[in-house]
Amino acid sequence: MEAFAKIDILDRVDGAAVVEAIKAGQLHDFPGGVHPPEAKLLSNQAPIASMPVPKTLYIPLKQHAGIQGSLAVAVGDKVKKGQPLTHSSHPFAVPVHASTSGTIIEITAHSSAHASGLPESTIILEPDGAEEWHIMPPFDDYRSVEPVKLIERICDAGISGLGGAGFPTHIKTQHDHDVECLIINGIECEPYISSDDRIMREHAWQIKQGIDILRYLVKPKEIIIAIENNKPEAFEALKTACSSDASITMASVPTKYPAGGEKQLIKALTGHEVPRSGLPMDIGCMMFNVGTCFAIADAIIYGKALVQRVVTLTGEALDMPQNVWALLGTPMSDLLSFAKYQPTKQKRHKVIMGGPMMGFAVANDSVPVVKITNCVLVPAADELPDIDDEKPCIRCGYCTDACPAGLLPQQLYWYSKAKDYPKAEEYALADCIECGACAYVCPSEIPLVQYYRQAKAEIKAQLDEQQKSEKAKLRFEQRQARLEADKKAREEKHRKAAEARKAAMENNGGDAKAKIAAALARAKAKKQQAAKATNSDTSSTDNNESSE
């Protein structure tokens, strides 16, 4: 590929050339990357199991990256499975749905499926066990339906990226560019996780249906399904499902973490890079996760909203690691008992939502499964060593060699730690994808990503603060101006009134003077009267004073 040189890697990709190269077995490499133990065999051997319906479901109002909708139900309402619980007209709002039929017993703040574990507004649903569906009318022949209707349905079905980022899917599909490459991401590079692997093995046909719908909506020149080469069964399953379709290209990508990252996969497949602070769209690429394709088919062809997803339950502290279909809102406790969690196998009780590289530890066992929950990892003691004994950075540069974004992690670390944020930004802190490769290889056990996250949050807070103070300044100045104007207006009014009085007085001078004299006399008389009253009756003083 390098022979052609002169190709600007930040330019639009040429779909046909990319597909030709992939078919010839030519893939590209992205910088850095690591090879942590995959540990996928732990969970990917058995078919996806169904779980009994939990006693209580905790459905957070916002489960995607975007805006929270407003409540469409109230406490006490009976809801059906798949019935929307929130609604909004905001383009970045995606509704959430009742994961099963039942009664809403409470709407309250509940531990969130977020690294902070901070409470978030959550609908608490008590299932009635009837599993009664609220089906949206299926589009049997979606090709005869206007794309805009289908996009609306994708939004109504509550679909946001199931790969992990949770970006609203309908936003991506309503585009106005030409798409060269539609990339279906079945990489699943995080160790331990096998939910995409299992769904590809078992539901390749429905994923194909989802891809067909996307093809109708996006009209890409080429479609590429990318699967890491450690999942041969999934690769075969999708290859069989797509065998009749010559326009779909299968790409087997070498196993390397984080090959599944959007930017990294685009680089690996096309050799092009998404420009900084740009989108894949800018170079003619668009990427969807295989799970998202499955959900799109569910929504369009079967009229079902997104109410469940495949979750990998894994780790050596579980006696029965496996993949399950979990209803959104299922609390950790149900998942853990289903997979036979053995707390004694852990020194510190720790449950990770997501994989070992980018997942976060959940705060307690009532944290629910949300749309982005692809894995619940419960490591036994010593299965995954903690990063908890920070030693000085020896500038070994292992992190630089591991960084898939081409950054200098140790420089970012110095500046983040020293709170020198302008410098950290200069070293492209914003381009860090928080994949954890640097902290994984660090021999000094420095929690590098944690430092970056804190720095990023601080930079964001400072920016917010600055915007807020600019707004406050503006409002203060406008208020000052208004008060000034009011004061001027009042003075003007007083001046005019005084002038008018003066003029009137001059017009009939004698009369006015007599009036003033009369008024003075009246006031004097009143005062004398009041004084008399005070002397005669002291108890009335209070009344007098208060009436004044």
If phi > 0 it is left, if psi is from -120 to 50 it is alpha, else beta; for residue 219 that is: left
> What residue ranges in 90-205 does DSSP mark as E strands?
102-111, 119-127, 181-186
Q: Rank residues 69 and 303 by Cβ distance to another protein and give the closer one.
A: 69
Q: x/- binding map, residues 407-446, to another protein, per CB under 8 A?
A: xx-xx---------------xx--x--x-x--xxxxxxx-
Q: Please check whether residue 372 is in contact with residue 190, taking contact to mean a CB–CB distance below 8 angstroms.
A: no
Residue 473 has a CB neighbour count (10 Å cut-off) of 10
What's the closest the beta carbon of residue 469 comes to another protein, in angstroms?
Answer: 4
- Nearest Cα to Cα of residue 60 among 35, 95, 36: 95
Residues 315-334 touching another protein, rule: CB under 8 A, are 333
Q: x/- binding map, residues 339-378, to another protein, per CB under 8 A?
A: ---------xxxxx-x-xxxxxxxxxx-----------x-
Total residues contacting another protein (rule CB under 8 A)? 97
Q: Rank residues 473 and 527 by Cβ distance to another protein and give the closer one.
A: 473
Using the rule CB under 8 A, give the single segment among 206-214, 475-483, 487-495, 508-516 that binds another protein: 475-483
Binding of another protein by 55 (CB under 8 A): no
Binding-site member from 78, 479, 494, 526 for another protein (CB under 8 A): 479
Q: Please check whether residue 251 is in contact with residue 269, taking contact to mean a CB–CB distance below 8 angstroms.
A: yes
Residues 196-255 touching another protein, rule: CB under 8 A, are none
Q: Please check whether residue 331 is in contact with residue 367, taking contact to mean a CB–CB distance below 8 angstroms.
A: yes
Using the rule CB under 8 A, give the single segment among 41-49, 288-296, 463-471, 529-537 that binds another protein: 463-471
Residues 265-294 touching another protein, rule: CB under 8 A, are 267, 273-276, 278
Tokens describing residue 494: 């007083």
Give the CA dihedral 143, 145, 148, 149, nearest 10 degrees: -120
Q: Residue-wise over 310-336: b if at least 16 C-beta within 10 A, else e?
A: bbbbbbbbbeebbbbebbbbbbbbbbb
Residues 4-43 touching another protein, rule: CB under 8 A, are 10, 30-31, 36-37
Q: For the chain, state the CA radius of gyration.
A: 34
Q: How far apart are CA 274 and CA 262, in angstroms?
A: 9
SS3 341: strand
Q: x/- binding map, residues 172-191, to another protein, per CB under 8 A?
A: -------------------x
CA angle 42, 46, 51 (to 5 degrees): 105
Tokens describing residue 350: 């720790």
What's the closest the beta carbon of residue 452 comes to another protein, in angstroms?
Answer: 9
What's the closest the beta carbon of residue 331 comes to another protein, in angstroms?
Answer: 11
Q: x/- binding map, residues 99-138, to another protein, per CB under 8 A?
A: -------------x-xxxxx-x------------------
Residue keyed to tokens 């079902």: 304
Using the rule CB under 8 A, give the single segment among 46-54, 474-482, 504-512, 534-542 that binds another protein: 474-482
Binding of another protein by 389 (CB under 8 A): yes
